[in-house]
Amino acid sequence: MDETLARRAGTGRNAEARNRQDRYVKRFAERMLADEATGVLLVDADFRIVEVNPMVCEVFDSARADLIGLTVEGWNERMSVPLPLERSLLAGETFRNRKLVWGTGDRMRELMLDGDVLQDGDETIGAYVMFRDVSQLTMLEEQVRRSDRLKMIGQIAAGTAHEIRNPLTAIKGFMQLLQKSLTEQRMAREQEFVTIVLSELDRVHELVNEFLLLSKSRETKFEPVRLGRILQEMLPMLRNEAMLHDITLRYEPRNDLPLVLADKEMLKQVFLNLGKNAIEAMGKGGSLVIRERRGDPRLGQVSVDICDTGGGIPAELLDRVFDPFFTTKEQGTGLGLSICQRIVHDLGGHIDVASSSAGTVFTVSIPFVGVRGSGMASGGGALSLDDV
């Protein structure tokens, strides 16, 4: 009798343990399906969708109710670009880290897909596909690569720029003396040649200055500031520049935005550079809009859009605009945007660009101070919005 009771008690404990384990697995599955950072797609043995989580629906702009019961082939027929999912997955052709770039502009996502079969014993009952959004990781990797290139250029510049400036200064000085002498002797033709040489020397001097700026290891002074105040300080300079080119400038402030942690002077340099680039891209006439707004809430950033109505940047050149020495200007050095990107990257932010025939938008995004009154003022006291 005692042995029977013991066996029943043991069986009860085993059943309870299995039920508890099933609950854990069920809760984990529910949590995985609800995860906004990971996509899950489940299909049955007929390659019909039996479950899809919110992340997949959001990325591919599809409703869950419209997808359940649909074959993957049927889903692909509705898509502008078919997904890289084949029925061969059910036959055991699994894959890992299959790359998929989806969407355009601000909605573009870079995804990594993992697919495998689901089996019950020896029977294949379906398959699953996991979607991982690696857009931010890819962007950070690209920023690191560009930062490394700029660092290498900076190291070269540090060793050569001063050596170039010394003979450059001497050459320019003697050319100016020669120009004065030619002017006194009324040798107009020769004076014109000297003017051209001096103009080209100024271009070389400007390039050397940008090299020195690129090689400077200036310490970044982080402090809580309001982007609107930085923009208001540099707007008069941009307005004067815009008036010379018959361009209207419109500033759209947002007084409810949080403070950002940044170096005020370095950010001012970024906005001035981007603003002047926008004015030059439009030539005569056009509209320049500088807009403050909230950035991506997932990253905790404040953004500034610099929008022009120029001819736009060709799609095949868009990925190269931040590369050192790449420029479409006749007199450009190709270092301005590279320096801007380095500054913003050092501040923990990023610069994005979108362009079409209607114009170009550069977006600067900077992390903001998470809590108002976070005690980051130099005196150590509580910081309010009125303190900055």
Please write the tens of the pLDDT for every residue from 110-144.
889 999 999 888 888 999 999 988 887 877 777 77
Q: What is the mean pLDDT of the chain?
A: 79
Element (H, E) at 141: helix 135-184
Render pLDDT for 261-312 as a digit per residue (tens, 0 to 9).
Answer: 888 888 988 999 899 989 988 988 899 999 999 887 777 889 999 999 988 8
Beta strand extents in 257-358 (DSSP E only): 260-262, 287-294, 301-307, 350-356
Spatial neighbors of 52 by CB under 8 A, at least 6 apart, are 40, 41, 42, 62, 64, 67, 68
The distance between the two most distant Cα atoms of the chain, rounded to a whole number of Å, is 130
**In contact, 109 and 101? CB cutoff 8 Å:** yes
What SS3 class is residue 248?
Answer: strand
Spatial neighbors of 108 by CB under 8 A, at least 6 apart, are 101, 102, 135
Give yes or no for residue 32 having a pLDDT over 80: no
- pLDDT band with cut points at 50, 70 and 90 for residue 44: very high
Give yes or no for residue 236 having a pLDDT over 60: yes
pTM, two decimals, is 0.54
C-alpha span between 195 and 109 (Å, rounded): 52
C-alpha span between 302 and 231 (Å, rounded): 13
**In contact, 250 and 288? CB cutoff 8 Å:** yes
